[in-house]
Amino acid sequence: MNLYRIAYSSSLSHCGDLRGCVRTIGRMEGYSELFLSQLELSVHEAFVNAVRHGNGENPVLTVSIIFRCGETCSGCTLQVQVTDCGKGFDLMALDNSFDEESEMALGGRGVRFIRHYTERIDIETTSEGSVLTLHYIPF
């Protein structure tokens, strides 16, 4: 299993650097360009949500991202953990539907994108913050 760790202060100015790191990690792991685009978008959305909602855009707080790339008997696996200092949210309470109005909205689409591109997402909240885990089957 390969493990990669990245941490940024809670600023959206790091989005470009993050996307570059995601792409570099994915290429080192041999993922397809199509999968890399999906991975990049979903991790970007998770980071933006962690900065905005988890850490309230407080640049003193950090968002850490851990990539766990591995193999099982059924193929490649990837888990991405995005950790912030927030109190978390109820994943089941979020609307998962897409309609014309939600597609045109300026916000509120991040978790929908993440759900679309991952096999599963989980959230765990501790006294230190929240961990959103994105589960993928890379191709």
Tokens representing residue 106 in the block: 């300026």
Task: Write the pLDDT tens digit of every residue in 42-77.
Answer: 999 999 999 999 999 999 999 999 999 998 888 899
CB of 55 closer than 8 Å to CB of 61: yes
Evaluate if residue 90 carries a pLDDT over 70: no
Domain ranges of the chain: 2-136
pTM, to two decimals:
0.86
Report domain 2-136's class: alpha beta
Q: How far apart are CA 78 and CA 70, in angstroms?
A: 6
Percent helix, strand, coil in the chain, to 5, is 40, 30, 30
